[in-house]
């Protein structure tokens, strides 16, 4: 098309004119497509990001996952178990109707009772009773003191109680996911209106003029194009077909930095890449003596786990494997997040110290290990694991590295051996959805307990009652300072003392834009049209 | 003839049934869709609920019987990811893929046959040698690499064509077609050529081999002796006779073009069925994978059936053989 535009002066003049008008439109090439436009269908990053333009939440997350008042103007506790939420006045849905407490209650009901779908928002709605006080005042009552209320309110999007669907069975209030996908029920109160979603191709949004909230509206029209292939996405930006892309491959970062047509914006994410070790079996399937004989699982000993951690040269991995697009990690979340421990530093590369610890633990000659990981889930995942395998091998633990595609790996890592984790040592990653330390502590390090819903992703089955106790106490402490301290202490035990997991690095995400535009990097890895600004 | 067709139909039905078991069983063995879809911070109860709602708590044979039961009523199940009918998802993407496949086929035939005939008639000229050497490249260069190079040259460096996606479409009888708009055509050119390269090379080789053989036949010599013009000899007598193998192979290859344009669609972000298949495999969206593969099986069975029937119509020897056996 470009070649055609170059024909004749008139065409040039015309294209200059349209360029002015176009300045307020943006086309963004993104890697991952949402699975639905239904806000409660699937608690997944692309869904939460995309749909969040149309439907907003009571409380918002800014780019650092700090809270800001969105639909709720203010929130406070009025006693130990009741939160009072005041709604912003003058908020309207895209069909012109007013947003009131009734819509909020309706939304929570639909989210809580959602049938079908792929992982609901029940984790955030359960145990909360919503009581209407007046049109703009809401009380949320819990059984026990619940300090994470404002964080939980950043998850459930608010839809209109007047939305109509076509599902005659009455399931999900008679509105099926399909009704959202074709726009019938996609009526939110957010800064952008839904125009159309062509699956596998693009999502188009349009500015909502009646929006009065705090979120910026820098564009008149927003088009998200789904370009999964990495080189194709970069090419689309360089060719000028899109104005911006997300998930720039690390291998292209150096080159794009030098390209005068492109601006890169990168920022640390809430995702830590770590190793999980089998801590619950005497006889672990992928640990043997150096001669291949059966031995008692050495990973049960925290000293051995610490020794492994000391064998990893994090700085070298970040520099060589990650092309400097990552930050070495010492715990579950980077500095600056709520509940991180001030005591935990990044473990230094210390082969001598590792040797000493191994000898102390009774393994002066080491043992043999097979480590497993995905090869298409995290940035450079297979290469990281290969580097770790070499470091282990070089320090007296002969290590075999096995990587596989994610859709095979996760099943085996979680429940491959008759419902139990199959591997002895795995590489995985975790992003904290709530933006504070309780989420990874609860899922990765708390004792695996189905009835309490704790340790759901604890693939090494680390267990320490002292840490569990501290975490439970933190989860019921309303006072922020005290809760932060408890979470930090729990992290000190889980990682500092026990080395329940071995943190490697925090991912850094990179967005690229054409010159003149830049992205405000988000720790939650979402790509939002509202976070693009002029340079 | 009728007996022949009926027997073929029964065979086809058996193939479809066996394939359904293989496909369903194969997909069943791989991974766990719940692990792929569930939110990181979902607890164990939430996971169990998902397993139940997807029907994954049932043993294999029950899942299979349920699938067959629904399939016989024309329902291939709902996608795990979108929870919309799998057939509907595939049908939505079908026009884009068919359009691309037809465009690729068109390019392959329109360019391939003249080039092949030329190379066959003038086997020793340097142009023919260039054509034949290039056709080796068309066979041997990997599609994704060629695709990326094409994007790099035509979109990034020269800026002549868009790098990816599908352009504007026009609805014809409710089906979105991008062949009819300039923007749509400009989007389609690169992926269509990319997809056509392999077939183009094949058509060139087939046409060349056919020409070399036919040109020495007695009827060509006779035509020359009769004093017919070169245009008529090549355009009618030679052309007709080299078309038989070309048409047969292309007919069969068309199924492959439609079913497995996966690489091209991924590289060019073309919203067709191939891209849907890859995305579904990534997410372990079993119903869509199964529905897609079943669709491909039926497509191939149908094409083969048509080719067989046509063969027996065109060539009485085949029909006679079938009757004897």
- Structure ipTM: 0.81
Q: Which of B208, B226, B191 is nearest to B130 (CA)?
A: B208
Mean pLDDT across the stretch B290-312?
A: 81
**Span B60-116, pLDDT tens digits:** 888 888 888 888 887 888 888 888 888 888 888 888 898 999 899 999 889 988 898
**What is the domain partition of chain B in residue ranges?**
86-324
User: What pLDDT score does B322 carry?
Assistant: 61
CA distance A328 to A82: 40
Least confident among A87-96, A345-354, B119-128: B119-128
User: What pLDDT score does B40 carry?
Assistant: 77
Least confident among A47-51, A120-124, A485-489: A120-124
User: What pLDDT score does B316 carry?
Assistant: 65
Which one is predicted more confidently, A486 or A2? A486
Mean pLDDT across the stretch A73-91?
A: 91
Averaged pLDDT of chain A:
88
Instruction: With beta carbons less than 8 A apart as the criterion, state whether A203 and A223 touch.
Output: yes
Mean pLDDT across the stretch A339-355?
A: 92
CA distance B300 to B311: 16
Q: Is the pLDDT of residue A371 over 90?
A: yes
Chain B neighbors of A65, CB-CB under 8 A: none
| CB of A1 less than 8 A from some CB of B | yes
**Span A5-51, pLDDT tens digits:** 344 334 333 433 343 344 589 999 999 889 899 999 988 888 999 99
| CB of A269 less than 8 A from some CB of B | no
User: What pLDDT score does B20 carry?
Assistant: 87
The two most distant CA atoms of chain A are separated, in Å, by: 83
Chain A neighbors of B82, CB-CB under 8 A: 35-36, 177, 181, 199
Provide the angle, in degrees to the nearest 10, between the axes of the packed helices B239-259 and B286-314: 170
Pairing of strands A262-277, A287-288: unpaired
Q: What secondary structure, in 3-state letters, does B262-314 show?
A: HHHHHHCCCCCHHHHHHHHHHHCCHHHHHHHHHHHHHHHHHHHHHHHHHHHHH
Chain A neighbors of B284, CB-CB under 8 A: 407
Mean pLDDT across the stretch A457-469?
A: 92
Mean pLDDT across the stretch A440-457?
A: 89
Q: What secondary structure, in 3-state letters, does chain B show?
A: CHHHHHHHHHHHHHHHHHHHHHHHHHHHHCCCHHHHHCCCCCCHHHHHHHHHHCCCCCCHHHHHHHHHHHHHCCCCCECCCCCCEHHHHHHHHHHHHHHHHHHHHHHHHHHHHHHHHHHHHCCCCHHHHHHHHHHHHHHHCCHHHHHHHHHHHHHHHCCCCCCCCCCCCEEECCEEECCCCHHHHHHHHHHHHHHHHHHHHHHHHHHHHHHHHHCCCHHHHHHHHHCCCHHHHHHHHHHHHHHHHHHHHHHHHHHHHHHCCHHHHHHCCCCCHHHHHHHHHHHCCHHHHHHHHHHHHHHHHHHHHHHHHHHHHHCHHHHHHHHHC
User: What pLDDT score does A43 carry?
Assistant: 87
CA distance B286 to B280: 7
Q: Is the pLDDT of residue A1 over 60?
A: no
Instruction: With beta carbons less than 8 A apart as the criterion, state whether A145 and A478 touch.
Output: yes
Question: Least CB-CB distance to B164: which of A178, A241, A439?
Answer: A241
Q: Which of B108, B107, B102, B116 is nearest to B239 (CA)?
A: B116
Question: Least CB-CB distance to B39: which of A43, A227, A406?
Answer: A43
Q: Tell me how close the Cα of B203 comes to any Cα of chain A, in angstroms.
A: 29
Q: Is the pLDDT of residue A105 over 90?
A: yes
Q: Tell me how close the Cα of B266 comes to any Cα of chain A, in angstroms.
A: 6
Chain A 98-117, residues with CB within 8 Å of chain B CB atoms: 115-117
Chain B neighbors of A415, CB-CB under 8 A: 32
Phi, psi of B208 (to 5 degrees): -65, -50
CA distance A502 to A213: 42
CA distance B105 to B253: 9
Token code pair at residue A421: 């984790």
Q: Which of A86, A510, A159 is nearest to A324 (CA)?
A: A510
B80 HSE (CA, 13 A, CB side):
28
Q: Cβ of A119 and B35 within 8 Å?
A: no
The residue assigned the tokens 């439970």 is A472
Mean pLDDT across the stretch A58-80?
A: 90
CA distance A247 to A511: 6
Instruction: With beta carbons less than 8 A apart as the criterion, state whether B257 and B250 touch.
Output: no
Q: Closest chain B residue to A179 measured between Cα atoms?
A: B84
| CB of A439 less than 8 A from some CB of B | yes
CA distance A159 to A389: 49
CB pairs under 8 A between A and B: 171
**CATH T-level assignment (fold) for domain B86-324:** MetI-like fold (1.10.3720)
Q: Tell me how close the Cα of B274 comes to any Cα of chain A, in angstroms.
A: 11
User: What pLDDT score does A473 carry?
Assistant: 92
Mean pLDDT across the stretch B295-301?
A: 84
Instruction: With beta carbons less than 8 A apart as the criterion, state whether A339 and A393 touch.
Output: no
Chain A 455-514, residues with CB within 8 Å of chain B CB atoms: 456-457
Least confident among A127-136, A457-466, B205-214: B205-214
Instruction: With beta carbons less than 8 A apart as the criterion, state whether A53 and A222 touch.
Output: yes
Mean pLDDT across the stretch B300-319?
A: 74
Q: Cβ of B30 and A408 within 8 Å?
A: yes
Averaged pLDDT of chain B:
84
- pTM confidence score: 0.83
**Span A282-301, pLDDT tens digits:** 888 999 988 888 899 999 99
Chain A neighbors of B163, CB-CB under 8 A: 232, 235-236, 238-239, 241
- What is the distance in angstroms between the CA of the first residue and the CA of the last residue of chain B? 13
Q: Which of A191, A32, A38 is nearest to A532 (CA)?
A: A191
Q: Find all residues with CB under 8 Å of A200, minimum gap 6, and list them.
A: A33, A226, B93, B271, B272, B275, B276, B279
A511 CA to centre of own chain = 16
Q: Is the pLDDT of residue A4 over 80?
A: no
User: What pLDDT score does A9 carry?
Assistant: 37
**Span A247-269, pLDDT tens digits:** 998 888 888 999 999 999 999 98
Report the share of chain B in percent with pLDDT over 70: 95
CA distance A217 to A123: 31
Q: Cβ of B92 and A236 within 8 Å?
A: no
Mean pLDDT across the stretch A172-180?
A: 87
Mean pLDDT across the stretch B152-162?
A: 87
């Amino acid at each position: 098309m470009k070649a055609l535009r170059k024909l004749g002066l008139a065409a040039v003049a015309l294209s200059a004119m349209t360029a002015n008008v176009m300045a307020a439109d943006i086309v963004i090439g993104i890697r991952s497509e949402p699975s639905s436009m239904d806000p409660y269908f699937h608690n997944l990053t692309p869904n939460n990001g995309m749909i969040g333009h149309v439907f907003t939440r009571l409380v918002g997350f800014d780019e650092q996952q700090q809270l800001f008042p969105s639909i709720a103007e203010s929130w406070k506790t009025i006693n130990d178990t009741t939160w009072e939420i005041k709604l912003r006045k003058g908020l309207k849905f895209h069909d012109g109707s007013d947003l009131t407490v009734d819509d909020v209650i309706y939304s929570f009901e639909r989210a809580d009772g959602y049938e079908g779908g792929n992982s609901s928002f029940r984790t955030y709605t359960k145990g909360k009773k919503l009581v209407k006080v007046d049109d703009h005042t809401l009380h949320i009552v819990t059984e026990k003191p619940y300090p994470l209320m404002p964080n939980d309110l950043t998850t459930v999007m608010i839809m209109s109680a007047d939305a109509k669907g076509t599902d005659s069975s009455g399931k999900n209030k008679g509105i099926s996911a399909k009704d959202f996908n074709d726009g019938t029920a996609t009526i939110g109160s957010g800064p952008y209106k839904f125009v159309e979603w062509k699956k596998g191709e693009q999502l188009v949004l349009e500015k909502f003029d009646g929006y009065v909230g705090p979120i910026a509206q820098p564009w008149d029209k927003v088009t998200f194009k789904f370009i999964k292939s990495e080189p194709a996405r970069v090419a689309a930006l360089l060719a000028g077909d899109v104005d911006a892309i997300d998930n720039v491959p690390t291998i292209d970062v150096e080159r794009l930095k030098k390209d005068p047509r492109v601006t890169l914006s990168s920022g640390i994410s809430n995702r830590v890449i770590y190793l999980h070790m089998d801590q619950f079996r005497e006889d672990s399937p992928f640990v043997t003596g150096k001669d291949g004989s059966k031995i008692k699982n050495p990973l049960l000993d925290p000293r051995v786990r610490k020794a492994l951690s000391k064998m990893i040269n994090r700085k070298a991995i970040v520099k060589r494997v990650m092309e400097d697009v990552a930050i070495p990690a010492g715990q579950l979340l980077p500095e600056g997040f709520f509940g991180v421990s001030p005591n935990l530093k990044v473990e230094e590369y210390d082969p001598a110290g590792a040797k000493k610890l191994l000898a102390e633990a009774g393994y002066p000659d080491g043992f043999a290990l097979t480590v497993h990981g995905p090869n298409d889930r995290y940035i450079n995942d297979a290469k990281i694991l290969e580097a770790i395998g070499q470091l282990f091998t070089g320090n007296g633990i002969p290590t075999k590295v096995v990587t596989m595609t994610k859709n095979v790996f996760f099943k085996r890592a979680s429940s491959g051996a008759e419902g139990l984790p199959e591997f002895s040592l795995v590489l995985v990653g975790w992003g904290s959805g709530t933006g504070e330390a309780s989420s990874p502590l609860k899922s990765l390090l708390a004792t695996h307990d189905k009835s309490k819903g704790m340790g759901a992703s604890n693939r090494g089955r680390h267990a320490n009652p002292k840490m569990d106790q501290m975490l439970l106490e933190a989860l019921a402490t309303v006072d922020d300072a005290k809760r932060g301290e408890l979470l930090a202490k729990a992290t000190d035990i889980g990682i500092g003392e026990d080395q329940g997991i071995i943190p490697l690095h925090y991912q850094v995400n990179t967005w690229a834009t054409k010159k003149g535009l830049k992205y405000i990097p988000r720790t939650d890895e979402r790509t939002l049209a509202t976070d693009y600004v002029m340079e | 003839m009728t007996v022949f067709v009926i027997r073929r139909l029964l065979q086809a039905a058996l193939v479809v049934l066996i394939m359904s078991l293989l496909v369903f069983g194969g997909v069943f063995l791989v991974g766990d869709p719940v692990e792929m879809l569930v939110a990181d911070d979902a607890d164990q109860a939430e996971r169990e609920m998902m397993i139940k709602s997807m029907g994954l708590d049932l043993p294999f044979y029950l899942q299979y019987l349920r699938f067959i039961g629904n399939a016989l009523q024309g329902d291939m199940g709902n996608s795990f990811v979108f929870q919309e009918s799998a057939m509907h998802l595939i049908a939505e993407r079908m026009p884009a893929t068919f359009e691309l496949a037809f465009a690729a086929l068109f390019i392959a035939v329109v360019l391939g046959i003249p080039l092949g005939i030329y190379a066959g008639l003038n086997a020793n000229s340097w142009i023919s040698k260039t054509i034949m050497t290039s056709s080796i490249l068309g066979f041997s260069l990997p599609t994704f690499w060629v695709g990326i190079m094409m994007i790099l040259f035509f979109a990034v460096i020269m800026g002549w064509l868009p790098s990816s996606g599908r352009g504007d479409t026009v609805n014809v009888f409710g089906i979105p077609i991008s062949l009819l708009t300039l923007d749509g055509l400009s989007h389609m050119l690169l992926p269509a050529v990319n997809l056509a390269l392999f077939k183009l090379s094949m058509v060139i080789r087939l046409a060349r081999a056919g020409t070399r053989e036919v040109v020495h036949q007695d009827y060509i010599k006779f035509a020359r002796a009769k004093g017919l013009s070169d245009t008529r000899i090549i355009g009618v007598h030679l052309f007709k006779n080299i078309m038989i193998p070309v048409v047969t192979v292309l007919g069969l290859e068309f199924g492959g073009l439609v079913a497995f344009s996966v690489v091209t669609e991924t590289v060019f972000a073309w919203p067709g069925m191939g891209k849907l298949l890859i995305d579904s495999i990534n997410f372990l969206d079993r119903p869509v994978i199964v529905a897609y593969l079943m669709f491909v099986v039926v497509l191939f069975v149908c094409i083969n059936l048509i080719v067989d029937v046509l063969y027996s119509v065109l060539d009485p020897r085949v029909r006679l053989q079938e009757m004897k056996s």
